[in-house]
Amino acid sequence: MTVGSVSARRSTFLPFSTPTIGEEEIREVVDTLRSRWITTGPKAKRFESEFATYLQAPGALALSSCTAALHTALKTLGIGPGDEVITTPMTFTATVNVIEHVGARPVLADVEPDTLNIDAGEVEAAITPRTRAILPVHYAGHPVDLDALRALARVYRLAIIEDAAHALPARYKGQLIGGGGNPVAFSFYAIKNLTTAEGGMLTADPEFLAQARVVSLHGMSRDAWKRYDQGGGWFYEVVLPGFKYNMTDIQAALGLCQLRKLEQFQRRRREIVSQYNRAFLDEPALELPVTRPEVEHAWHLYALRLRLEALTISRDRFIEELAERNIGTSVHFIPIHLHPYYRDRYGFTPASFPVACSNYQRLLSLPLNPALTDQDVSDVIEGVLDVLRNHRV
């Protein structure tokens, strides 16, 4: 390691991300464990209500994951064999897997060069008579161009199911993502902006959610709380072959506390982003994340892009050098069309979606979470700058 590298090295490893859990969450979970309900019950119902109120959404359904929410939405819409759903290659595989799970065909559309969100022009070019829905992802927390996608949905009579795993609490033209009536799926995985360890939420119109609730719990007409709580009755009917996707009250206890802290968490995320932006703004080897004027970014990820022509090392070596300086990073994402299952099943090549592929080769995500101290942030900045000092062309 060079002298510069030694000077920029932390004494301990900084993970890419960690959950931000406090004593309030611990007390709420303990309260749940001491109560009569540890599975789906009063706290899950309260979390649904408070989450919907926060987003000003018409309704919310608490589920076991964002994947479960996406799958439930597709099933509730009746999408299945013979249908096509258009989505992005720049996403985690769960977004596309659920389309396969319902027997439909995932159709990929390339992304915009600046936001890395799905490109509405590419979506329109991909529409066929078999297209039933568009499934956009709000990449890194930057909302997609919803007006353009909604216009396509109206013209071609398509559903829109939003993957908002990164997008709490992002805004598009003043409205929080999830505040409309179409299905929107959120993730509460351990490193998300709000966590329930594992878990997710589906927002939509109440009529849609009433059907989705049945789909999400074995196809039963009544859930356990309605059957076993005081005044409940044992009788239920199975009206369709549903899934086991319910959120527990233990998870919801975490979510209720996290929701109260969300604005505080977001202030800290924005502070960290501002520090990164100031430090990296004039670096010719770096391309910073963008924020379009009509959106409020959720800043789930700080996705930095390297200008490889200005460096003597690859993206992968850049990540290794940061790890040598005890800085953890990640890559979001390996595009869907490069994974063996989708590559082989649909005959994709790297050039099938050139914008996604070329950006993937120079992407890395820096640590970004409310638990980072100012010293942590300084260490990340110094680590990145030190690698640049040692490997500029």
Beta bridge partners of 363: 305
What is the spatial distance between Cα 111 and Cα 208, in angstroms, rounded to a whole number? 29
> How would you list the strands of the sheet with 60-63, edge to edge?
60-63, 200-203, 184-187, 162-163
Q: Is 192 a catalytic residue?
A: yes
Q: Is the dihedral of CA 94, 100, 351, 160 positive or negative?
A: negative
Residues 6+ apart with CB under 8 A from 378: none
Pairing of strands 363-366, 302-306: antiparallel
Closest CA to 132 of 181, 83, 96, 89: 83
Residues 6+ apart with CB under 8 A from 130: 82, 83, 84, 105
Per-residue tokens: 235: 């009788």
Catalytic residue among 192, 226, 244, 261: 192
What is the spatial distance between Cα 8 and Cα 161, in angstroms, rounded to a whole number? 44
SS3 state of residue 240: coil
Identify whether the C-beta of residue 159 lies closer than 8 Å to the C-beta of residue 180. Answer: no
Residues with catalytic function? 192
